[in-house]
A and B are shown apart, each in its own frame.
Chain A
Amino acid sequence: MSDRSTRDTTPAGRPHPQADLGDAAGRVSLHARRSPLAAPAVQVAAVGSVDLTGAAHAGDFGAALAASGWTRLGPTPLEFFQINLGKLCNMTCRHCHVDAGPDRTDAVMDRGTAEACLRALDRTQAHTVDLTGGAPELNPSFRFLVDGAVARGKHVIDRCNLTVLLTPSLTDLPEFFASRGVEVVCSLPHVRSRSTDAQRGNGTFEKSIRALRALNERGYGQGDPRRRLTLVTNPVGAFLPGDQSAMEREWKDALAREHGVRFDRLIALTNMPIARFLEWLEGSGNLQEYMELLVNSFNPAAVAGLMCRNSISVSWDGRLFDCDFNQMLELAAEGDHGGPLHIRDFDLEQWQNRRIVTGRHCFGCTAGAGSSCGGATVESP
């Protein structure tokens, strides 16, 4: 980190106050570092080995479900068709559950798989196509998938890290989104620069504001349902998100007042003990306490709205999962005949009859007000 003194400076030239908290921009993926934690099985084992005998339901998600009257966690009608276009990303955020980064050229969806996704989509009544990654916009098939989904009358969500919109070859994306009514769901962990940069790398906040302004200029964030701008916040550390609606009010005021930026809604996601957030939990000595927090915050009312029930999650190589978290842990969806499923063989009836695969990480989606790709799943307690 010999170049820290030059890199960690604000435009005004004074040392960035974040310098001591680490610089996500200088990090690389677990995969590139050949960290043992890059292996999903090692992640599952690390979370599984936390002693939770004193916590609610002894940290057993199945027991927590059973105690809440759920003998079988089954799917509801498929609504959200989520495609993960790969792990390639222009950023290397410290909390990333995908272990994405600029070095992840090993995991990028090809055109054949993208075409298979659209063919499978035609066999469903899903109303929304949710494109995620990595940075999905970096995939050569990204616009093909957006146009394919729009042509089929689907609502399209782009899960955007904001900074990718400043990539010189991608600056037309706001216009591309606006002309197709794509909802842009953007990561902005905090309304203030310090915390945002701590998680996502120095300079991220300022770049994010520039990208938000570009979206505002194309009509996003002004209440138009065809130009919906959603912000996603997730805690910058080992705690649960606060009340989503209260934070939305404060964020709207703060971003308008301090940066002249508008957005339509804020959703709050809980950090999952997976990949680089798991690495941070272990390294900072927070894993035990964080798992206790997730388990002891189990909210039975959050089970019904779990996203695994009404979604499908397709990986870059076409495998099927109950959700993006199971995908990263390689906990494959199980059809009624068992065994892994692939998008090229997609069968809706089989999908609707599957048993949802759960594990200890699932406590992340049932803690407090619940957490999903759409934010909280229950009214705040």
Chain B
Amino acid sequence: MADYYKAEHLAKFASVADGNAELAQKFFSYYGAVFADGALSAREKALIALAVAHAVQCPYCIDAYSQESLKNGADLEQMTEALHVAVAIRGGASLVHGMQMLEHVKKSSM
């Protein structure tokens, strides 16, 4: 492979069905149902997806859900707050492991 992460992959996502149409169909149908307006609005779901996209560091998802967030009425301030939720949980997840370090240090040290 010459390079990774090509922007045109996003538009061609549906061709992932080439290897297994049935599983792709099941996934995309589930995917569509997840993002439909429900107890959460389409805007709220797009913001959650945007935060998760940053947590899993998926450039395709970041592009797609930046656009979806704008389209569904979110603005830069709301999107940035969503981003910081992802950042806080990622950072907090590391930090809370410090409790294990702390216990280890307390047990092992005089």
Contact = CB atoms under 8 A, between A and B. Distances in A.
Whether A associates with B in a native complex is yes
Interface of A: 17, 190-192, 194-195, 233, 235-237, 239-243, 246-247, 249-251
A194 B75 contact: yes
Given A235-B70, A237-B70, A239-B67, A249 B41 contact: yes
Interface in B32-84: 37, 41-43, 67, 70-73, 75-78
A191 B73 contact: yes
A239 B65 CA distance: 12
B83 to A, nearest CB: 16
Contacts of A236: 70, 75
B42 A192 contact: no
Nearest to A293: B67
A243 B70 contact: no
B75 A240 contact: no
Contact of A246 (B42, B75, B77): B42
Contacts of A233: 73
A375 to B, nearest CB: 14
Given A192-B75, A192-B77, A195-B75, A246 B41 contact: yes
Interface residues of B, number: 13
Given A194-B75, A243-B42, A246-B72, 7 more contacts: A195-B75, A195-B76, A236-B70, A246-B41, A249-B41, A250-B41, A251-B73
Contact of A240 (B42, B71, B76, B77): B71
B41 to A, nearest CB: 6
B43 to A, nearest CB: 6
29 contacts: A17-B77, A190-B75, A192-B75, A192-B77, A194-B75, A233-B73, A235-B70, A236-B70, A236-B75, A239-B67, A239-B71, A240-B71, A241-B71, A242-B42, A242-B43, A242-B72, A242-B73, A246-B37, A246-B41, A246-B42, A246-B43, A246-B72, A247-B43, A247-B72, A247-B73, A249-B41, A250-B41, A250-B43, A251-B73
A270 B73 CA distance: 13
Interface string B7-43: 0000000000000000000000000000001000111
Nearest to A233: B73
Contacts of A190: 73, 75
Chain B interface, DSSP helix/strand/loop, else mixed: helix
Contacts of B75: 190, 192, 194-195, 236
A199 to B, nearest CB: 11
Contacts of A237: 70
A235 B71 contact: yes
A363 B102 CA distance: 62
A241 B68 CA distance: 10
Nearest to A266: B73
Contacts of B71: 235, 239-242
Contacts of A246: 37, 41-43, 72
A183 to B, nearest CB: 23
A242 B43 CA distance: 9
A249 B70 CA distance: 17
A243 B77 CA distance: 21
Contact of B37 (A17, A239, A241, A243): A243
A368 to B, nearest CB: 9
Contacts of B67: 239
A192 B78 CA distance: 10
A236 B69 CA distance: 12
Contacts of B42: 242-243, 246
A114 to B, nearest CB: 38
B35 to A, nearest CB: 11
Nearest to A292: B11
